[in-house]
Structure 1
Amino acid sequence: MKVVPAALIIMLFAIPYCATQSFIVGYTEARGLHVSVGLFFPLYAAVLLVLRLCLKSLFDKLPFKMFQSGASVCTLAAIICLTLMRDNTLLFLAAAFMAGSYGIMSSVCQSTAMLVAGPEHRGLANSTYYIGFDLGMMLGPVCGGLLFGHAPLEIFYPALSLAVPAAAAVYIISARRGMF
């Protein structure tokens, strides 16, 4: 049970990322944007690699709430960039911010799951973490598909931003119960 909050948090951070994975091409085409969508994920990966290398010593020093706060800001910044995108500049900034959100939280949530479960329950903790991870990978495209097909395009990314306060609520409730 101690791992469930970390699994829920990664699920919530995965939703906007996985919706972006599934719909960014259709989203830019529907908006008539001429941007280099194919560079979004390589740039995301490069920024994530740099971030993980730069933050490597901080992963064991900073509390979970610091990473969650930073990742929340990055998620909102990525969503703002994608919502306002007119050219490659905001697309590239969105990729970088997404690396600082979902990319960092995927590592932080997994390591937190291992720590709170203790060495005797690491297998179960890892499995629980991946259930949350997989649910986010499933719900992102589902939520994105519901939005993309049935809601005005202008609210596609703002609606996905609701995952941020939901993740914050999971953290706050769990922290009050001593789970973090």
Structure 2
Amino acid sequence: MQQKSALWNRNFLSISLSSFFIFMTFYILAVTLPIFVLDNLHGNNQEIGLVTTLFIIAGVIFRPLTGKWLDELNRRNIIFFSLVLYTICSLLYLFVHDFNMLLWLRIFQGVGFGIAATATSAIVIDMIPIDRKGEGIGYFSLFMSLAMVIGPALGLMVVSHFNFTVLFTLCSLLSVMSLICAMITTIPVRDKNTPTDRSWNWRRFIELKAIPISIAGSLLAFSYGAISTFISIYAKELGIEQMASYFFIVFAVMIVLSRPFTGKLFDRKGPHVLVYPGILLFAAGMIWLSQAHSVVVFLLAGGIIGLGYGALLPSFQTIAIQASPSHRRGLATSTYFVLFDTGYGLGSYVLGVVAARTSYHTMYLIGGVVVAFTALIYYRLHHRKEKLAQSQS
């Protein structure tokens, strides 16, 4: 029996933890800044969406640049600069007193986030053995998924029991931890024999082969933007405000329970066995959430969404990487997250407008329909092409 290549080591763990702390800060702010804007800055729903969207736009602009830089420049310097910027911005939230200042701060922190998130995702790929890509990326994305859930739950708990000064101090400490973890990581040296194109042609910023699955990922993120940005306000409207943090805990539990199996299943059976059930669960959970009027339905919907989202996120990212040449993995990663983040930012704003003009129930119903449409996009842009390629070989 062939022995598996080693996956877990100090460097894999430290870069995964760096990513975890980056996304902890991101998701803490994602669910608490809406409350900060409404209560402290006296804003409205559309302004809440704008706070998220400007952050994402800044990240989207710098993700493809980062993909190019990672393939050409010193990767340690890139990640150091981005995390220092990210940490400084986290500290500056302590001094925000008006909406315009908050918007500028979100733009600059979005730059740091876009570079740092792309860098950690691309660097870890070079650490994962070739025969364990699906499993390795699955575990790495588990750290992001845990942050996606622990962050909002922790942020909402801090806001409810303390104040925003404590919250922003916590975010600053988490950003410092992400910097420390990245700096103790031994980053793999790029193969000098790998071809490098230093031109400024647009193809140097985008990996075309990663685009089809990235479009599917952007639709997924579009709907998820409504969850991370508005779930705390939705819970308050339903009269179960204290349950918002538990929604994310249930969400997390389902991701954690499923992740050890999904990565291995991807490597053995391929993505389709995960993607279609994942889309079905995510869409059903969103539609059920739109009809929530009780704590039980609210929390069960979170669990169903978590199970679907936990299967889809690493699967889509792995497909994007496997579809691209090995020397363009940095670009494939950035291309995937450019479209993913674009969908997230648009979803936060567009669905926020929908909620402002109709209701949160309608907003989540539309989000569920968008997720269901992802199945068609996945089939036409990826699955069908794969079937045609196999039939011709």
Q: CA deviation at 1:54?
A: 2.8
Distance change (3 Å), C-alpha of 1:102 and 1:20: same
- Seq. identity, %: 24
Who is 2:265 aligned against?
58
- Code of the aligned partner of 2:315: V
Who is 2:221 aligned against?
14
Alignment of 1:1-180 (within 5 A): 1-33=208-240, 36-174=243-381, 175-178=383-386
C-alpha distance after superposition, 1:1-27 (max 9, x if no partner):
221121111111112222111111222
Contact 1:47–1:99 (CA under 8 A) maintained in structure 2: yes
Which one scores higher on RCO, CA 8 angstroms, separation ≥ 6? 1
C-alpha distance in 2, partners of 1:18/1:154? 15
C-alpha distance in 1, partners of 2:302/2:361? 19
C-alpha distance after superposition, 1:110-148 (max 9, x if no partner):
111111113122111111111122112212211221111
Contact 2:235–2:243 (CA under 8 A) maintained in structure 1: no
Unaligned stretches of 5+ in structure 2?
1-207
C-alpha distance in 2, partners of 1:81/1:121? 40
Who is 2:83 aligned against?
none
C-alpha distance after superposition, 1:73-103 (max 9, x if no partner):
1112211321222222222222211222223
- Code of the aligned partner of 2:214: A
C-alpha distance in 2, partners of 1:176/1:162? 22
Contact 1:17–1:98 (CA under 8 A) maintained in structure 2: no
User: TM-score w.r.t. structure 2 length?
Assistant: 0.43
C-alpha distance in 1, partners of 2:287/2:297? 9
C-alpha distance after superposition, 1:17-52 (max 9, x if no partner):
221111112223334446611111122122211110
Contact 2:279–2:308 (CA under 8 A) maintained in structure 1: yes
Contact 1:33–1:86 (CA under 8 A) maintained in structure 2: no
Most deviating of 68-77 and 30-39: 30-39
Contact 1:4–1:129 (CA under 8 A) maintained in structure 2: yes
Contact 1:35–1:91 (CA under 8 A) maintained in structure 2: no
C-alpha distance in 2, partners of 1:157/1:130? 23
C-alpha distance in 2, partners of 1:40/1:61? 32
Contact 2:231–2:244 (CA under 8 A) maintained in structure 1: yes
Q: CA deviation at 1:149?
A: 0.4
C-alpha distance in 1, partners of 2:298/2:359? 20
Contact 1:19–1:143 (CA under 8 A) maintained in structure 2: no
Unaligned stretches of 5+ in structure 1?
none
Larger radius of gyration: 2
User: TM-score w.r.t. structure 1 length?
Assistant: 0.88
